[in-house]
Amino acid sequence: LDPEMVGEVLDVMRKLAEEGMTMVIVTHEMGFAREVADRILFVDQGVILEQGTPEQVFDHPQQERTQTFLSKVL
């Protein structure tokens, strides 16, 4: 998606989340995920390495792979 479309899609998904819609989203948009998610799963090569609330995963990641990834994208 081009940058304009990404913003539009995220806006629609944000509104759905506000309305209580359950969604499973695969994304590299960490700010968006932190904003709208109730639960975060960090998956690497098909394996769930970390899961928890956005605060748990983003602020206190337990796995080295999660820590490394987040340090590069946040």
CB neighbours of residue 33 within 10 Å: 16
Facing residues of 44 across strands? 47
73, 28 contact by CB (below 8 A): yes
> Tens digits of per-residue pLDDT, 25-66?
999 999 999 999 999 999 999 999 999 999 999 999 999 999
Indicate the pTM of the whole model: 0.84
Domain chopping of the chain, boundaries:
24-74
68 CB burial (10 A radius; 0-12, 13-18, 19+)? exposed
Cα–Cα distances in Å, from 6 out to 12, 23, 32? 10, 17, 11
Residue 3 has pLDDT above 90, yes or no: no
Secondary structure of residue 72 in the 3-state scheme: helix
